[in-house]
Amino acid sequence: MDTSRAIDDISETEKRSPKISKDTVKLGWQLLANIDYVEEKTEDYPGGVLNPIINFQLKNLKNHYIEISGYVVPMDENSYALSSNVMSACFFCGMAGPESVMGIQFKNDTPSLKTDQYISLVGIFSYNDTNPEDWIYHIKDAKILKK
């Protein structure tokens, strides 16, 4: 799949940033699923909460441009997540773990997408290993490559 068109849309400031790599890496759900958890007790969660332990391969991809494909899961009328599974088998239905879903922040206006629509995205990968009320994985400045 040709990602050059989406990469050309990256601003010159982003390309020069030492923290963001402009090289695009294809990321698969199998690597995202390779995750462990550690239980931690906090003031907000005295009974304990499971925080993800991000594997070294994913840590090395933080702030790199990735390409990933998956199924659209609407969160509300203005936001979506990307899932490795269709809605009926997704994390929210108890059929998979939180590592099977990725929050999407689009670079421009949020497009109109349909539930279970299969799309490919390119954007900046990040992860969250401390806030249990947020996605573990994120794709920021996302652009749709293929609907």
Instruction: Answer whether residue 16 shows pLDDT above 90.
Output: no
Instruction: Answer whether residue 8 shows pLDDT above 80.
Output: no
Instruction: Answer whether residue 99 shows pLDDT above 90.
Output: yes
* Least confident span in 51-55, 67-71, 92-96, 130-134: 92-96
pLDDT score at 94: 64
Phi, psi of 12 (to 5 degrees): -60, -35
Kindly give the pairing relationship between strand 137-146 and strand 118-127. antiparallel
Torsion of CA 32, 67, 89, 47, to 10 degrees: 40
Q: Which helix (H) or strand (E) holds 26?
A: strand 21-26
pLDDT score at 147: 67
CB 100 within 8 A of CB 30: no
Instruction: Answer whether residue 18 shows pLDDT above 80.
Output: no
3-state secondary structure of 11: coil
- Averaged pLDDT for residues 73-92: 84
- Averaged pLDDT for residues 39-52: 92
pLDDT score at 142: 97
Q: Which domains does the chain have, with CATH numbers?
A: 4-146 (2.40.50)
Sign of the dihedral defined by the CA atoms of residues 74, 119, 83, 5, in that order: negative
- Averaged pLDDT for residues 135-144: 97
